[in-house]
Amino acid sequence: MTRIDDTFARLKAEGKKAFVAYVMAGDPDYATSLEIVKALPRAGVDIIELGMPFTDPMADGETIQLAGQRALEGGQTLDKTLQIARELRKEDDKTPIVMMGYYNPIYSRGVDTFLAQAKEAGIDGLIIVDLPPEEDDELCIPAQAAGLNFIRLATPTTDVKRLPKVLQNTSGFVYYVSITGITGAAEAQAADVAPEVARIKSQTDLPVIVGFGIKTPEAAQSIAAIADGCVVGSAIVSQIGAGKPVAEIAAFVKGLADGAHRA
């Protein structure tokens, strides 16, 4: 059992859906980013997705791309991203942390070295968007052997034939991408998402969390109601990009978390 498994078990016992928040590590700078990450659990966030800034993102829309650029220009590194997790763990040993990003920085570091460092830093899972199931031997299987969940994305274009392959070796939860396209590009619609979530849940016992295109407490509530929870990223990152104070960002996040928890 990982912290992710424990969190979903607790939420199920409480009759609540999960609220997952994404922020880019090091955005707008290391100190502010750390302060924001520490504020997330207090704002009601059940699972933190910590973005690893990368120079050549593929699935990210403009909002997340700019956040990555701000972080890199501010000197953010993979070591500093792991340090954010270590600092959070000094005061919070329960909230799961999932690192989300691309394989290149991990490959450059060396898989075994990275996994050992991630485990030591208190990381619970990985979402690596550019590694398909055909490449499971690269990172997925070693990560699971190291005690980290490997979370896979399913999308509107993941058809009946492809879905079993996507679900193979996935653990923690399944991340359903609610729209076709990049982050922050369109709004998720519960009526469109519901049958897709049901289709995935018919093939796995894992929780299904829906992300992309959720921007308001009302949307968080409607999407969480037809899944096991929801993820909000771009809407939060937009607040950070606008230079809002940490307290204001935390209040915005709390509104989203409250929406998901009302589902």
**β pairing state of 18-24 and 97-101:** unpaired
State CA 9 to chain mean position distance: 18
Answer whether 148's CB lies under 8 Å from 115's CB.
yes
Which position among 14, 35, 46, 49 bears the catalytic label?
49
Q: How would you classify residue 179: left for phi > 0, otherwise alpha for psi between -120 and 50, otherwise beta?
A: beta
Whether residue 137 lies in the annotated active site: no
Which position among 27, 46, 60, 124 bears the catalytic label?
60
Could you give the count of Cα atoms lying within 13 Å of 195 in the half-sphere of its Cβ? 5
Q: How many Cβ atoms are within 10 Å of 204's Cβ, its own excluded?
A: 17
Whether residue 138 lies in the annotated active site: no
Q: What is the residue type of 12?
A: K
**Residues near 214 by beta carbon (within 8 Å), at least 6 away in sequence:** 178, 187, 188, 220, 223, 230, 231, 232, 235, 256
Q: Which of 200, 199, 203, 197 is nearest to 230 (CA)?
A: 197
Cα–Cα distance for residue pair 198/42, rounded to 1 Å: 31
**Residues near 177 by beta carbon (within 8 Å), at least 6 away in sequence:** 153, 154, 155, 156, 211, 212
Q: Which residues are catalytic?
A: 49, 60
